[in-house]
């Protein structure tokens, strides 16, 4: 059995860590690329959301590398993610791929079911070992989060351009290299030391932007066209509303581990505008925007793939939040045709707007709602 799973940003690091610790033969698909997208688009329903298309491309590429089993998360609605595995499996079957599918559905019954499934993949390792493996995966996810957070800080302030990028690579390599939960604390220390080694100008003025939206688009640099790096290079310190450790814990480990970060506060805030959860992270998108406004961020960018249902609900509500709380919000919609150039123009215009507001206190107090803010952009990032 050679196991593969779809890419979502740095998620591969924690799943690989967990499965290899348990002695599973893992095939990591090549990082998502234009080719992955083309493969996926060719065989997916036209209006499927983008993550499905990339997943499919990942599986096709991994199959060429010898993978024969897919592990992925499931769900019980209301958004499409809960049916991804089944649609993808049907498409792969019709194309003649012989994949065995293991879906980690949220525990309708009990967490033991999940552990049972993992034991199946790992050919009956002991429970104790499986739980330790899950712990390793989680430790890696939270270490990755910490590295990324350091990068948010140093990117707009770095003295030597590109220093942060290099440091991130090295730091992640340390996390990848750790093979047991026992090795993790040292690996994390080493990774953070590398990150702290980036020389920065602490006094450089930066613009602060919160990133909210659909999880896959937020976490996968190929999908968001490396928005974090692009913004960082424009002198923006970003913060992301959802982190890997949170998602892994909620969707793969079924909340088994007590997470330091939680989406609760965002959900509670969001209820003021949206009276019900809407699946995906729609409610969190609204709530996080409110939280960013309260924390004095200069602006918020919402990211979503074309046709994403929960985020369209949120998108409809954000202009009101923006106007009530006086925080500019820009929505960026990505699809398979999105291009770099269009994206950069939009980001630059938005950052200029925020800088201008920051420099002129009268502007800062003005209400930048939809009607009043001609620069507010919506629509595709495609050129």
Partner 1 sequence: MSIKVGIPRALLYYYYHPQWVTFFRRLGVETLISQKTTRGLLDKGLKSTVDEACLPVKLAVGHVLDLRDRVDYLFLPRIVSTARKEYICPKFLGFPDMVRHTINNLPPIIDCNFNLYHKGSSSADFYFQVGKFFTRNPAKIIMAYNASKAALDKHNLDMQSDCLPQEHAAEGSADSNGINIAVIGHPYVIYDNYISMNMIKRLRDSGARVLTADHLPESVVREEAYRLPKKLFWTINQRMVGAAYHYFSREDVHGIIHVASFGCGPDSFTGELTERCARNGSNKPMLSLTVDEHTGEAGMVTRLEAFLDMVRWRRNMADAAATL
Query: Which one among 80, 135, 140, 157 touches ligand SF4, defined by CB under 6 A?
Result: 80
Query: Which one among 7, 89, 269, 357 touches partner 1, defined by CB under 8 A?
Result: 89
Query: Which one among 29, 232, 310, 328 touches partner 1, defined by CB under 8 A?
Result: 310
Query: Which one among 11, 19, 67, 79 touches ligand SF4, defined by CB under 6 A?
Result: 79
Cβ burial, residue 330 (10 Å; 0-12/13-18/19+): buried
Residue with tokens 């814990």: 249
Query: Which one among 33, 149, 267, 307 touches partner 1, defined by CB under 8 A?
Result: 307
365 binds partner 1 (CB under 8 A): no
Burial 9-29 (b: 16+ CB within 10 A, else e): bbbbbbbbbbbebbebebbbb
Query: Which one among 29, 133, 181, 280 touches ligand SF4, defined by CB under 6 A?
Result: 280
What are phi and psi for residue 125, nearest 5 degrees?
Answer: -65, 165
What are phi and psi for residue 216, nearest 5 degrees?
Answer: -65, -45
5 binds ligand SF4 (CB under 6 A): no
CB of 249 to ligand SF4, least distance (A): 18
Contact of residue 374 among partner 1, ligand SF4, none (CB under 5-8 Å per partner type): none
Binding mask 33-52 for ligand SF4 (x = CB under 6 A): ----------------x-x-
What is the rounded distance in angstroms from the CA atom of residue 45 to the CA atom of residue 42? 8
Residue 310 CA to chain centroid, in angstroms? 16
CB of 89 to partner 1, least distance (A): 7
Query: Between the CA of residue 16 and those of 122, 138, 299, what are the distances in Å?
Result: 13, 11, 36
Contact of residue 186 among ligand SF4, partner 1, none (CB under 5-8 Å per partner type): none
Output DSSP code: residue 251.
I
234-273: contacts with partner 1 (CB under 8 A): 273
Query: Between the CA of residue 120 and those of 3, 73, 114, 127, what are the distances in Å?
Result: 12, 15, 10, 11
Instruction: Give the Cβ contact number of residue 196 at 10 Å.
Output: 12
90 binds partner 1 (CB under 8 A): yes
Stretch that binds ligand SF4, among 79-87, 240-248, 285-293, 327-335 (CB under 6 A): 79-87
Q: What is the dihedral of CA 45, 46, 47, 52, to 10 degrees?
A: 50
Cβ burial, residue 82 (10 Å; 0-12/13-18/19+): middle
CB of 106 to ligand SF4, least distance (A): 15
Residues lying near ligand SF4 in the complex (CB under 6 A) are found at 49, 51, 79-81, 214, 216, 280, 305, 308-311
Question: Which residues are at the interface with partner 1 (CB under 8 A)?
Answer: 45-49, 74, 76-80, 82-83, 85-87, 89-91, 94, 273-280, 282, 306-310, 312-317, 319-320, 333, 378-379
């Amino acid at each position: 059995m050679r196991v593969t799973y779809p890419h979502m940003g740095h998620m591969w690091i924690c799943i690989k860590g967990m499965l290899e610790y348990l002695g599973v033969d893992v095939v990591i698909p090549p990082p998502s690329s234009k080719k992955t997208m083309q493969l996926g688009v060719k065989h997916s329903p036209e209006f499927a959301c983008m993550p499905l298309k990339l997943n499919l491309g990942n599986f096709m590429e991994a199959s060429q590398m010898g993978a024969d089993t897919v592990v992925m998360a499931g769900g019980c609605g209301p958004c499409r993610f809960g049916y991804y595995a089944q649609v993808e499996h049907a498409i792969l079957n019709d194309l003649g791929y012989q994949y065995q599918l293991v879906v980690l559905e949220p525990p309708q019954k009990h967490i033991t079911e999940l552990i049972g499934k993992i034991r199946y993949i790992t050919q009956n390792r002991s429970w104790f070992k499986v739980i330790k493996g899950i712990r390793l995966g989680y430790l890696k996810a939270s270490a990755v989060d910490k590295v990324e957070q350091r990068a948010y800080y140093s990117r707009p302030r770095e003295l030597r351009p590109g220093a942060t990028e290099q440091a991130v690579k090295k730091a992640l390599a340390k996390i990848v290299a750790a093979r047991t939960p026992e090795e993790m604390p040292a690996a994390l220390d080493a990774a953070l030391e590398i990150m702290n080694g980036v020389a920065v100008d602490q006094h450089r003025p930066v613009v602060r932007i919160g990133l909210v939206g659909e999880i896959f688009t937020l976490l996968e640099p190929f999908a968001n066209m490396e928005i974090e790096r692009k913004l960082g290079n424009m002198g923006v310190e970003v913060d992301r509303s959802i982190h890997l450790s949170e998602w892994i814990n909620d969707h793969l480990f079924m909340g088994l581990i007590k997470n330091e970060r939680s989406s609760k506060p965002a959900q509670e805030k969001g209820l003021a505008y949206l009276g019900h959860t809407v699946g995906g992270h729609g409610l969190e998108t609204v709530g996080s925007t409110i939280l960013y406004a309260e924390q004095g961020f200069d602006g918020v960018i919402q990211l979503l793939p074309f046709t994403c249902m929960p985020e369209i609900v949120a998108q409809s509500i954000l202009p009101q939040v923006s106007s009530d709380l006086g925080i500019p919000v820009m929505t960026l919609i990505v699809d398979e045709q999105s291009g770099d150039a269009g994206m950069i123009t939009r980001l630059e215009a938005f950052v200029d707007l925020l800088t201008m507001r920051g420099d002129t206190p009268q502007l800062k107090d003005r209400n930048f709602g939809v009607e009043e803010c001609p620069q507010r952009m919506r629509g595709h990032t495609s050129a």
